[in-house]
Structure 1
Amino acid sequence: MKSVPIYEAKNRLSELVAAVEQGETVAITRRGRPVARLVADTGDAPEHLPQRQRAAAALAELRRLRHGVRLEGDPKAIAREGLD
């Protein structure tokens, strides 16, 4: 990870953003101490979320999908059938 003082980051922002786009992480420092970090925007890609958030999102999606769906028959028999 590259460290850059804040006064230098102001002058080289375009260059630093280009480096971040290439996958590098840039720490911005003030008086030698990190105060911010430039990282690439990953959007809302689920693989970049913490595990707890991914699990919550998956459960919410399952709840949405099951809305109005009714299973006919014995749930255990249906599960065993799914294993075959």
Structure 2
Amino acid sequence: MHIIPLSEFRANAAAMIDLVEQGETVRILRHGKPVAELVPPKLDNPSKVPSWKRPITPLHIVRPDGKTGAQLIIEEREGGW
């Protein structure tokens, strides 16, 4: 971990970002007190896909009479009330 005063961070911001990019942590002090830390990002597991992005498999409900949901709807529409 690198601990630097704010004035040094301002003068060398690009170099500090390079350190963070290499996996280092940089703590920035103002008047001797820590005010910020630059840490490398935590890389999520790229193979883990959120549930809302996973492909879904449609339900295949088999009725005893063999009719599909679409066929039932068509029969109901044609039959009227």
Same fold (TM over 0.5): yes
Q: Of 38, 43, 46, which residue of structure 1 is paired with 2:44?
A: 46
Aligned residues: 60
What RMSD in Å do the two structures reach over aligned CA positions?
A: 2.6
Q: CA deviation at 1:17?
A: 1.5
TM-score (norm 1): 0.53
Q: Which has the higher helix share?
A: 1
* Counterpart residue identity of residue 69, structure 1: P
* Counterpart residue identity of residue 37, structure 2: R
Equivalent position of 1:30 in the other structure: 30
Equivalent position of 2:53 in the other structure: 61
Unpaired stretches in structure 2, ≥5 consecutive residues = 63-81
Unpaired stretches in structure 1, ≥5 consecutive residues = 48-53, 74-84
TM-score (norm 2): 0.55
Q: CA deviation at 1:36?
A: 1.2
